[in-house]
Each structure stands twice: as structure tokens, then as C-alpha cells.
Amino acid sequence: MEPTTHAFPENARKALSDERLQKVLAIAPAGFVNRRKQAADRLPEFEALRDQGRDLKNHVLANLDTYLEAFESKVTEQGGHVHWCRTDQEARDAILGICRAANAKTVTKGKSMVSEEIGINDYLEANGLTPIETDLGEYIIQLRHEPPSHIIAPAFHLSKKDVEGTFRQAHTDLPPDRVLDDPKVLIAEARTVLRRKFQQADVGITGANLMIAETGSTVIVTNEGNGDLTQILPRVHVVIASIEKIVPTLEDAALVLRLLARSATGQEASAYTTFSTGPRRPGDLDGPEEFHVVLLDNGRSALLGTEFQEVLRCIRCGACMNHCPVYGAVGGHAYGWVYPGPIGSVIQPALLGVKEAGHLPNASTFCGRCEAVCPMRIPLPKMMRHWREKEFEEGLQPAAMRKGLGLWAWFARRPALYHAATRMAIRALGALGRGKGRFAALPLAQGWTKHRDMPAPEGKTFQQMWAEQKGKR
């Protein structure tokens, strides 16, 4: 997917004037927010678990190589294969190679953000295969040729009515006069269509919410059970996962799972939590004949030891975007690539470069709500600020803003001059605004006055008045 992250302001304007989208955004995030809060309130040790989660991931990141190698040897021992991929291209080629070796035509897919990151669907299609998304939300947006707008709810931006329209257009073999006004009916229709695809699939690709070093297992959580059908029915199961998803033990996995579902959807546990440990063993009733894990780095290891290392603690729950007022205003597509919201504003500059994604860390008020709910206590605003520092160092910020702030700072470093200059400026501005108490338009402040008035200053600075009073007190 070609990123449009550089065009965030235009993307945002488009989203803001999209009435259909605005209707969805006015309601949807509140549900996530309330359910997460209830789930957290019900668990007295929730805050302590967040501390443990943070500490666990810090330990993992400090020993990443050890755990990944331990994981690899377990997978291999059990008859599986691990493919180390430095880049998205290497991962695409690894997956295509596995599919070709299996003579695959149809590939089913569970929901995976990493698969979006490497753009695997387009690549497989371009190479003559048919990838089919089996998560309901992913299935819908695949039919619409759209990227996901939320990391756990890919069709977050769509209403029931939108989905009905999409299904009518795509499922042309079904009676056109059928009634499709109930979500249950829509789900049943998707289930019927997808059941046939599951049975045709030669390869199933899933992501991994976790990888466990001590057992060589990968773990996925879903609420639809589609992940299980994706990985059990075809002959070959491919797991695509990024390297930071590793944890040392089953106990550690349990800790992450307790945090994940509550932070994501407010559930205590997802409906399905599935552990995959190697291919089918002799005597097993089901399971794939081949088990592959494609391990993706794609720039992550370069973040180790930098001010951005902590972002690798992310478990992709989506709580940050559910609570983000900017995401709530513009939705996920405005972020222009795979990962939206606060987490995207930190990761996308790392994966795409600060030139392409530089708007995102700036498009934040630093309100801090994301950090307040992050189960892994990632200091997201601090990291966005670090990206701003990189942009400043590279001189990428708009010249007018740079100059304005530079002038301000020049005076602020010289208190006597600062007080004299502000006194004069405020006297002038105060005199101009006194008649109405506010300005409807002000030169150099169109960004402000386009949408709101600028309250007028009282006319004297506090410092000036304080100095004048001093004699009298």
C-alpha cells in the first residue's frame, strides 16, 4: 500500500467533511472506551498487571536475540520452519515461496496487521494466487479494496448500511431481493460465503498476538473463530509475526492475554485463544502438515537502544486510538498507511521515515489519554515529541513556525527585553480589541480565527501591573 501519510492535513480535511464517516465516529469509539473502563474497574490488580506487562516487555527487549533463537529451536525441533526476514520484501518472498512449494491457488487469511504492513495480499494476487480475508471486518474491506481503519476493528469506519451495499455488490450469486438489514443476517451471509473458501484453501496465513519461546508456540486471539479455520483446514499454516511479539514463557503469555482483551474490547478473554505448536503430529486428529513462522524485523531492531525502544512493547490492542481525540475526529484512514492513532504516530515515522510520516507526531495535542490507557505504559506523547526533535534537527518543520518560535525564544531568553516588548505588543492589541472584547480576524493568526474568535487581551501585562502596584503595596 502506497502511503499517503505526508498528506495528513488533506486526508484529515476529507475525513472531516465526510458526513457518513463523521456519523460513525460520533458513536463508535465511546463503546470501546466504556467497555475498557468497566473491564479495568472489575479487576483490582489491573494497574499492577500493567506494571508487570511493562517490565516483562522491557526484559524481553533487552534479551530479544536470546528468546527469538530459543523460539526458533523449539519450532524446528517440532518439525516447523522459521524464516528470518529483514525487510517486507524478504517476508513477501518467503511467503510466496511457501505458497509456490505447496502448489497453492487459494490462500485464506486471519487478521494480521503485519500482513498489511508487508502488503501480502497485493503481492500474492500479482503472482496469480487468490488471498481471501476471513475476519469479517477484513473480508468487508477486502471486498471494498480499502485498507483497515483500526488495528482491531478494520471496518470501524463503516456502518451496517455500507456493509449491506458491499455485500449486494459482491455476492451476485445470491437473490438480489434478499433482506439484509440485520447484522445477524449480514454475518450469516458472510459465514456461508466464507465456508466454501475455507474448504478450498491450500495455505492459511495468520498473524500472531504472541510467540512463546519456551514452547515454540504462536498464539492468536479472535472473536469469530475464523483464525482456527484458517490455520487448521489447509495443508500449510504460515504465521507472519514481527519479532517483538515474543515472550519467554506460557505464564508471560497469560499476563499479556489478561491485559490484551480488557484493553482492546473490554472482554476478560477473547472468544477464541488459539495456541499453535508445530505441524500435525502422528496421531493428531487435525492440524496442518506444514508449519512456518515468518519472522519480520522491518526496521524494528534498529529501534533497540534508541529513544524509541519502548514502542516495541506494543501489543496492538487499539486502546490508544479508541481514546484519542484526533483519531476520533478524523478516523484511521487519514493517517495514510497501516497503523493509525497514537501508536501509528510513533511507529509510522520509524517504518516510513520522518519525511513521509512527519505530520503524525505533530498532529497531537499531547493530551496524554493514550498513555493513560496503554496496557504496556508506553509513553506515546514523549515518543511523538522525540520525533518532533528529529524533525527539528533535520529542519523539516514549516519555516514560518520555526521563525515565529525562534523569535519568541530569542525574547524569552532576555527577560527585560521580553517584558518591554510584550508590554508594547499587548497595549496595541488590547487597544484594538477593547471595543468587542475579541477579534473575528487577526493577521498572522488565520489558523486560529478561521474557526474561532481570538479573545482580546486586557491591555496591560501582569508584570507591568504588578510593578506599578509594588509601590502601593
Partner 1 sequence: MAEKRPAPRVGLFVTCLVDLFRPTVGFAAVKLLEDAGCTVEVPSAQTCCGQPAFNSGDRKTAQELARNTIAAFEGFDYVVVPSGSCGGQIKKHYPELLAEDPAWAARAQHLSARTYELVSFLADVLGVTDTGARYDGTITYHDSCSGLRELGVKEQPRRLLASVEGLTLNELPGAEVCCGFGGTFCVKYPDVSNRMVEAKTADIKGTQADTLLAGDMGCLLNMAGKLKREGSAIRVRHVAEVLAGVTDTPPIGEKG
Residue with smaller CB distance to partner 1, 196 or 450: 450
141 binds partner 1 (CB under 8 A): no
Residue whose entry in the numeric block shows the C-alpha cell 523539516: 396
Closest approach of partner 1 to the CB of residue 275, in Å: 37
- 8: Cα separation from own chain's centroid: 16
Q: Is 177 exposed, middle or buried (0-12, 13-18, 19+ CB in 10 A)?
A: exposed
Q: Which is nearer to partner 1, 223 or 422 (CB)?
A: 422
**What distance in Å separates the CA atoms of residue 66 and residue 74, rounded to the nearest whole number?**
12
Of 303, 377, 369, 312, residue with least CA distance to 342: 369
Pick 143 or 429: Cβ nearer partner 1 = 429
User: Would you say 280 or 423 has its CB closer to partner 1?
Assistant: 423
Q: Which is nearer to partner 1, 101 or 405 (CB)?
A: 405
Residue 304 CB, nearest distance to partner 1 (Å)?
A: 21
Beta carbon nearer to partner 1, 302 or 401:
401
Q: Does 275 bind partner 1 (CB under 8 A)?
A: no
Please count the residues of this chain forming the interface with partner 1, following the rule CB under 8 A: 67
35 touches partner 1 (CB under 8 A): no
Among 143, 250, 255, 454, binds partner 1 (CB under 8 A): 454
Which of 31, 97, 225, 455 is the binder for partner 1 (CB under 8 A)?
A: 455
Cell of 119: 502488503
Stretch that binds partner 1, among 93-101, 162-170, 198-206, 453-461 (CB under 8 A): 453-461
Any contact of residue 13 with partner 1 (CB under 8 A)? yes
Whose Cβ is closer to partner 1: residue 221's or residue 363's? 363
Can you tell me which residue has the cell 520484501? Answer: 89
Nearer to partner 1, 60 or 456 (CB): 456
Give the x/- contact pattern for partner 1 in 403-442, rule: CB under 8 A: --xx-xx-xxx-x--xx--x--xx-------xxxxx-x--
Write the interaction track for partner 1 spanning residues 363-402; mark x where CB under 8 A is met and - where it is not: xxxxxxx-xx------------x-xxxxxxx---xx--x-
457 binds partner 1 (CB under 8 A): yes
What is the nearest approach in angstroms of partner 1 to the Cβ of residue 320? 14
Q: Which of 172, 447, 471, 472 binds partner 1 (CB under 8 A)?
A: 447
Q: Kindly state whether residue 450 participates in binding partner 1, applying the rule CB under 8 A.
A: yes
Binding mask 300-339 vs partner 1 (x if CB under 8 A, - otherwise)? -------------------------xx--xx---------
Binding site for partner 1 (CB under 8 A): 9, 12-13, 16, 325-326, 329-330, 362-369, 371-372, 385, 387-393, 397-398, 401, 405-406, 408-409, 411-413, 415, 418-419, 422, 425-426, 434-438, 440, 445, 447-448, 450-458, 460-463, 465-467
